[in-house]
Structure 1
Amino acid sequence: MRLMRTGDEPLHARSPLRMRLWLAAWGLLWTLGGAVAFAAAGRPGWAAACAVLAALTFADLVFVIRHLRQGPHYQPGRNVPPYAPVAGRRRGRPR
């Protein structure tokens, strides 16, 4: 099956970031619950493993939220040379 390109893919492209956000949140809940349950059951090794996984899942969650807040970005192809940023449009710099 051959997919037809319409030429407006950057405008209508779908990002899996929202799905990754919910999967990371779900994983964070399960790993935190596992850490608490294993700690209560007297299994410190398994509790530590779940805590490490929870920390990694939390870091992923932070990165996904950061990418979502940045908004859409134009993704040029390999043939497009880099361009100079527009002067005066940087964050944190007074206009």
Structure 2
Amino acid sequence: MDIMVVVIQINESNFQISKSLKKKRNYILTVGGGMSMRTLSIEAGLLSLKVLENIIDIPGTVGGGIVMNATFISKGLLKSIASVKVITSDGTLMKLTKKNVD
């Protein structure tokens, strides 16, 4: 089974996609935490990444949406996220699965 994977890396607080890499069907998008959810959805759509189309009506930013698990009418980031890597206040890098984040 060929699964499309989109990795979103938050880089600073800018408002744009600063880098987009494609390897087979997998994408790495480096976006600013200040980018609006709507803009990310539109930009992903331009790259034919339908996996992020359900966040278009969620107000706020990508950074805030990840922190707050942004949801609108039962559509949200958590449905599209498989895992999240976070850095704790003591500098430890952790990978949280959807089950750990929920």
TM-score (norm 2): 0.20
Indicate the structure with greater strand content: 2
TM-score (norm 1): 0.21
Indicate the structure with greater helix content: 1
Q: Mark the structure with the bigger radius of gyration.
A: 1
